[in-house]
Structure 1
Amino acid sequence: MSGFSWLFRVEGSKRTLNGPFALAFNLIAAGFSLFYLYTSGFGLISTQSNRGVYLMLTSVLVFLIYPAGTRSPTNRPSLLDLALIGLAVVSVGYWIDQYVSYAMFRVSNPSQMDLVMGGIAIAVMLETSRRALGPIISLIAIAFLLQLYLGRYLPGQMAHPGMSVERIIEFTFSTQEALFGVVTATFATFVFPFMIFGAFLERSGAGAFFMELGTAVAGRWRGGPAKVAVITSAFFGSISGSSVANVVTTGSFTIPLMKRTGYRPHDAGAIEAIASTGGQFMPPVMGAGVFILATLTETSYLTIALLNVIPALVFFAFLLMMVDLEAVRLGLKGLPASETPRVRDVVKKGWHFFMPLGVVLGLLFNGYSPEFCAFWGTVSAAVLSWRHKDTRMGPSAVLKGLVGGAQSNAAAGAAIGTLGIIIGGIVLAGLGLKFSAVLIELSGGNLFWALCLVTLVSIIIGMGSSTTGSYIILSVVAAPALIQLGVPMIAAHLAVFYAACLSNITPPVCVAAFAGAAIAGAPPMKTGLAALKFGATLVLMPFSFAYVPELLLQGEWYEIIYTVGLYTTGAILLAISLQGAMIVSGPLSKNQRILFAVAGLLLMFPANLAVDLFGGALAALAIAWFFSSRKKADRVPEGA
């Protein structure tokens, strides 16, 4: 039984459970994962059970592991926590049991018990998100509930007659439009199975393998640890889909290495933060928001993954160039040969870790649903772990994988009920189209200014929400405005999704950068600003999807190749400008940096052949100017 002793201890971010409560948490978490692993592989479950069980057990786990406040016990749940667990089970259980009866006999005429249970469920979900994510997203949800009641007092286009408390509770709780709507369905059906898949991959040794592979590939290069961070974060982030989880997991290894080889603490934290953020849109797995995007646009997940290949590769190519030029500027070297394994040896030992990803992709290409692919990816990860004795997943490791998937979901899924409340408030009041009209009016119908406003709104919303939460809200209030201004639907949704990702690294509240700063021992705000510099292409991506459709494989193949080539070249020129350095030694002057920036932006946003040629000419001029100034500097005698 010594292999199962961990069952009696659970370490969370704010509470550590011991004894019976830890055992209860682990058993509930394992059962939670097992239930949704079964449904992803075999189905056969009602819609209300699929959505209701997900919200219910997510809340139960959150109340067990997250204390109510600073005075709450840190080693066990309080009486309040236990009461809230009971209320979550009773209210959501009531909805699961009564939904069919409501839909058949009580639509628009809810019973008193419907309203009581609805009020309890709404309060429970608001508290669930407050516990795990802080008060802001819950306050936003409360504001959306209040605007439903006080609609007649709202200004301008946002005004509406207002709704009764009974109507608000009925729509939010009893229907499948708000609390138990598409957001909950997507997380329960698609996202959670992939979280379990990621937990099994990591438990099988894949996380350590990708870290070692990144070290083997890039460790000896100049600034090698930063490149290791970029490569491993691309790999691991695609599996985890969470920027903060990625920072904490890979950053604990890469950030100290970067600092040791000469990177400044805030830059080390920033590089890991922006690389981890990029993992959210790195195929094949990507972040939870992409599953929502696929659902809202009624597009297959495989199509969304394929459309993200070029933007993700360009993003990481730019980031690699940025860290390389930072190494040039600071005169940094790579890791010593004694600390870098050979690529051949690493691949020989761990090539099988690519196979679960291959299983997922193979099934997706053959038309199977994402959750079915996640099921078989999970099974293959467990089976393939037996290739080496030290990674074999026995009963204890499998149980840990199940618990790990549920624990990851507790943090990511805590906001889902509250996000459903927000979406319900927007839909019931018709605010989506109204906000879009306001956005178009403020931008004067100009697409560029509309994209600027969307980016600004995403940063504001992102202060109190995750990438997924920000995207869900933006998809309702901002994407329709871009579509009205002529942006294709998928491009508009990808634009707001990447804008939502931007909030991870944008001060004043940038959770991924703050996590990197904590590990690096650097000032959080300084780290956030540095991450914004290293992730400059992420700022431009929403504009790129609107103005450069070839990035999303729109157009003839030769147009796509030509435009992507120009865009990538422009991104490299922009990196040179931002870092003030070329691959060869020697700093750029201020005017040279400006010239490189202008040339880069012209190539990244090609309007016509004349603009392309002008951008190319400016780039050639900037490069010639740099080398000419270097030759003159070299000819100046020392001491002259």
Structure 2
Amino acid sequence: MADISWLFRAQGAKRSLSGVWALAFNLTAMGFSLFYLYTSGFGLVSTQSNRGVYLMLTSVLVFLIYPAHRNSPTDRPSILDLGLIALTVASIGYWIDQYVSYAIFRVSSPNQADLVMGAIAIVLMLETSRRVLGPIVSVLAILFLSQLYFGQYLPGKLAHPGMSVERIIEFIFSSQEALFGVVTATFATFVFPFMIFGAFLERSGAGAFFMDLGTAIAGKWRGGPAKVAVLTSALFGSISGSSVANVVTTGSFTIPLMKRTGFKPHHAGAIEAIASTGGQFMPPVMGAGVFILATLTETSYLYIALINIIPAFLFFLFLLTMVDLEAVGLGLKGLPEKEIPSVRKVLAGGWHFFLPLVVVIGLLLWGYSAEFAAFWGTVSAAVLSWRHRATAMKPRDFAQALIGGAASNNSAGAAIGTLGVIIGGIVLAGLGLKFSAVLIDFSGGNLFLALVLVTLVSIIIGMGSSTTGSYIILAVVAAPALIQLGVPVVAAHLAVFYAAALSNITPPVCVSAFAGAAIAGAPPMKTGFAALKFGATLVLMPFTFVYVPEILMQGTWTEVIYASILYGLGSVAFAIFLQGSAPVGGRVPPIARALFGMSAGLLLFPSVWVIDLAGIVVGLAAIMAMSMLRADRPRGNAS
């Protein structure tokens, strides 16, 4: 008889369920994933069911697995949790059932039930995000709701007459503009099916294959474990698209390995954190925010993925260079030969794990929708797992992949309802255009200063939030300002998206770095600052998209290649400047280091050929100065 004991266990971040409560969680999670697997493949549900069921079941799972506070039971839901679950089903179920009637008969005249259920649903969404992400996003939502009511007290251009409580609740709850708006639609339609795809791909053995492949490729190089972390996070990022998920998944393997081979704990956590952050913009799947980006810019997801190939490559080039130079400074070597698998054997045993990605890309190129591609990618992952008996997905694996897909949605999906509330507050008050006007006025119409302000705002908004949450807010309040200053729409949104990713590694609140620090046993703040250093080009990327559009394949192939090569050279020079070490020659004398910094400053924004040539000449002068001043010889083996 098959072992079904696993159905009666459910492990969350703060609560471990067993018995009937674990069974309830697992069955709900399986039903959740199956519903959206069905909709992605066949799409035969109403709009209100598609959006409403997503928010409803996300909150139900959160209330089951996340306790309300530290004194709540950790092995079962409390009476409060069960009450909130009942209210969630009632309020959102009411919206699903009544939306058509409201849209036909009650627009601008909601009845008492609409208002009561709306108020309940709004509070439930705030509580859902608070439990998973902490209070910051929920507090932001309360502030945006408050400014709707107290609009007459706002300063300057942000002021408005103020609105009634009834009008606020109706717009946030009853319409499809806020709580059940584009953010919820995008997650329900596109993002969640890809989370299910990632869970199936992981369960089929692809996660272990990508780790083995990274070890086989980079394990013998100096600082090999850190390079393995970078490569596996890049590869795994093409599946999950979540920085924190990358950290806890690949970091549990790579961080201890980095520490064992000589990396300092805070550096090990930082490298994994920044590599996992990069996974969010690693094609083909990328992060959840990219689906929102494609929707808001009315651009195909495939196009967004294609133009991100060069930025992602350049980002990881810089990161690998930083890691290599860190290994030079520490005199590290690669992994022992016996711990490194053969590339040929790894590929022979797991080449088929690339095929589901090929299926996804192929269907997108063929013109099918992203969710349809995710559906067939999931099917192909399950089928191809049977290439080897050891990885063949059996009914238990299928069920656990469904549960894993729903569970992985909790961290991102918990914020979606609250983000809808925030978006509703911005849209109803017209704050998007108003904030853009304020931003333009404050910057004096100077594009560079506006980009600096957008970056600073993104760091502040991103504290305690995800990249997706930060981007959604910034896309409404900051991207329009860049567009008004002449930045193309897609470039403006990508600049904001990459700026939003900074929140993962920027102290004082940097969730990816904190996750890496926890695994490494390192000080969180120290890890955050180290991650910011290793990912320094992430700070520059928003400016690059605006001033060097060739990086986004905007221009002739000659211009694109020219800009990419110079940016790559500038990245290497920048890494040498920051680390004070060179791949060949060891420690860099201060004069040569300063010259490398000057060269990076000239090359990272290729434009006028005279300046570009000057950057190359200064770089060559730095190499000559380093040779003439006889820098220390490297202690590690060449990679």
TM-score range normalised by the length of the shorter chain = over 0.9
Q: Is the 8 A contact 2:573 2:599 kept in 1?
A: yes
Instruction: Report the AA paired with residue 440 of structure 2.
Output: I
Which position in structure 2 is the counterpart of 1:150?
150
Q: After TM superposition, give the deviation of residue 112 of structure 1 in Å.
A: 0.8
Q: Is the contact made by 1:586 and 1:630 (CA closer than 8 Å) also made in structure 2?
A: no
Distance 2:347 2:233 in 1: 18
- In the TM superposition, what is the alpha-carbon distance from 1:4 to its structure 2 partner? 2.1
- Tell me how far apart the structure 1 counterparts of residues 615 and 140 of structure 2 sit (CA, whole Å): 45
How do 1:532-571 and structure 2 match up within 5 A?
Answer: 532-571=532-571
Shift of 1:427: 0.2
The residue number in structure 2 matching 1:496 is: 496
Contact 1:462–1:503 at 8 Å: present in 2 too? yes
Structure 1 residue matching 2:4: 3-state secondary structure: helix
Deviations 1:399-438 (A, max 9, x none): 0000000001122100000000000000000000111111
The question of whether the paired residues in 1 share the 8 Å contact of 2:9 and 2:23 is answered with yes
Aligned partner of 1:582 in structure 2 is 582
Counterpart-to-counterpart distance in 2, 1:484 and 1:595: 37
- Tell me which residue corresponds to 2:326: 326
Kept in 2, the 8 Å contact 1:248–1:515? The answer is yes
Unaligned runs of 5+ in 1: 635-640
Among all aligned residue pairs of Structure 1 and Structure 2, give the percentage whose two residues are the same amino acid.
76
Letter in structure 1 aligned against 2:14: K
Query: For residue 513 of structure 1, what is the amino acid of its counterpart?
Result: A
Q: Is the 8 A contact 1:302 1:364 kept in 2?
A: yes
How far has the Cα of 1:598 moved from its partner? 1.6
Whether 1:85 aligns to 2:85 is yes
Deviation of 1:203 after TM superposition, in Å, equals: 0.3
- Equivalence for 2:432: 432
- What is the distance in 1 between the residues matched to 2:2 and 2:303? 46
What's the offset of the Cα at 1:444?
1.3
Q: CA deviation at 1:2?
A: 4.5
Larger CA deviation: 608-617 vs 370-379: 608-617
Q: Give TM-score, length-normalised by structure 1.
A: 0.98
Given residue 257 of structure 1, which amino acid in structure 2 is its aligned partner?
L
Query: How many Å separate the matches in 2 of 1:36 and 1:265?
Result: 40
Using the TM superposition, give the Cα deviation of residue 594 of structure 1 relative to its aligned residue in structure 2, in angstroms: 2.0
Q: Secondary structure at the match of 1:94?
A: helix
CA distance in 2, matches of 1:610, 1:397: 60
Once the 2 structures are TM-superposed, how far is the Cα of residue 615 of structure 1 from its aligned partner? Answer: 1.1
Instruction: Kindly provide the CA deviation profile for residues 326-381 of structure 1, in whole angstroms up to 9, marking residues without a partner as x.
Output: 11111100001000000000000011100100100111110110000000000000
Partner of 2:628: 628
Match of 2:367 in 1: 367
Q: What is the aligned residue count? A: 633
- Structure 2 partner of 1:226: 226
Q: Which amino acid aligns with 2:154?
A: L
Tell whether 2:246 aligns with 1:241. Answer: no
Matched, 1:506 2:506: yes
Tell me if the contact between 2:576 and 2:582 (Cα under 8 Å) persists in the aligned partners.
yes
SS at match of 1:146: helix
Partners of 2:225 and 2:361 in 1: CA distance = 30
Partner of 1:66: 66
Residue 10 of structure 2 aligns to a residue whose secondary structure is strand
Q: What are the Cα deviations for residues 193-229 of structure 1, in whole angstroms up to 9, with x where unaligned?
A: 0000000000000000000000000001111000000
**How far does residue 591 in structure 1 lie from its aligned partner after superposition?**
3.0
Q: Hey, what's the Cα distance between the residues in 2 that align with 1:345 and 1:609? A: 47
Is contact 1:574–1:597 with CA below 8 Å preserved after alignment? yes
* Cα separation, 2, equivalents of 1:268 and 1:2: 41
1:484 aligns with 2:484: yes
Report the Cα distance in structure 1 between the residues aligned to 2:2 and 2:166, rounded to whole angstroms.
54
Task: Tell me the amino acid that sits aligned with residue 131 of structure 1.
Answer: R
Q: Is 2:100 the counterpart of 1:100?
A: yes
Cross-structure match for 2:275:
275
Contact 1:467 1:500 survives alignment (8 Å): yes
Residue of structure 2 equivalent to 1:516:
516
Q: Deviations over 1:67-98 (max 9, x none)?
A: 00011100000010000000000000000000
SS at match of 2:415: helix
Q: Return the alpha-carbon distance in structure 1 between the equivalents of residues 601 and 53 of structure 2.
A: 49
Q: Secondary structure at the match of 2:504?
A: coil
CA distance in 1, matches of 2:561, 2:13: 46
Please give the alpha-carbon distance, in whole angstroms, between the structure 2 residues aligned to 1:592 and 1:86.
67
Tell me how far apart the structure 1 counterparts of residues 410 and 213 of structure 2 sit (CA, whole Å): 30
Cα distance in structure 2, aligned partners of 1:557 and 1:233? 29
2:258 & 2:3 partners in 1: Cα distance? 36
- d(CA) in 1 for partners of 2:172 and 2:464? 21
Q: CA deviation at 1:3?
A: 3.1
Matches of 2:305 and 2:413, distance apart in 1 = 22
Give unmatched runs, 5+ long, in structure 2.
634-639
SS in 1 for 2:491: helix
**Aligned match of 1:27:** 27
Match of 2:163 in 1: 163
Mapping of residues 381-400 of structure 1, within 5 Å? 381-400=381-400
Q: Corresponding residue for 1:39? A: 39
8 A contact 1:328–1:585 mirrored in 2: no
Question: Letter of the aligned partner of 2:268 in structure 1?
Answer: A
The structural deviation recorded for 1:441 is 1.2
The residue correspondences of 1:464-475 to structure 2 (distance < 5 A) are 464-475=464-475
Match of 2:637 in 1: none
Q: Residue 452 of structure 2 corresponds to which residue in structure 1? A: 452
Q: What residue in structure 2 maps to residue 303 of structure 1?
A: 303
Flag as ranges the 4+ runs of structure 1 deviating above 3 A: none
> What's 1:137 paired with?
137
Contact 1:58 1:410 in 2 (8 A): yes
Please say if residues 464 and 511 of structure 2, whose CA atoms lie closer than 8 Å, have aligned partners that are also in contact: no
Q: Which amino acid aligns with 1:487?
A: V
Distance 1:191 1:184 in 2: 10
Paired position in structure 2 for 1:317: 317
The CA distance in 2 between the partners of 1:458 and 1:58, in whole Å, is 26
Amino acid at match of 2:56: M
SS state at 2:587 partner: coil
Residue identity in the other structure for 1:548: V
> How many Å separate the matches in 2 of 1:519 and 1:591?
38
CA contact (8 A) 1:16 1:65 kept: yes
Q: How far apart, in 1, do the equivalents of 2:48 and 2:261 lie? A: 54
CA distance in 1 between partners of 2:305 and 2:318 (Å): 20
Paired with 1:215 and 1:336, the residues of 2 have a C-alpha distance of 11
1:618 corresponds to: 618
Query: Which amino acid in structure 2 is aligned with residue 339 of structure 1?
Result: E
Match of 1:347 in 2: 347
What's the CA shift for 1:135?
0.7
Distance, in Å, in 2 between the alignment partners of 1:321 and 1:231 is: 13
1:319 Cα deviation from its structure 2 partner: 0.6
Shift of 1:464: 2.6
Partner of 1:638: none
Inter-partner Cα distance in structure 2 for 1:372 and 1:145: 36
Question: Is residue 329–residue 585 contact of structure 1 (8 Å, CA) maintained in 2?
Answer: no
* Separation in 1, partners of 2:601, 2:232: 29
For residue 551 of structure 1, what is the amino acid of its counterpart? I
In 2, the alpha carbon distance for the partners of 1:338 and 1:27 equals 43
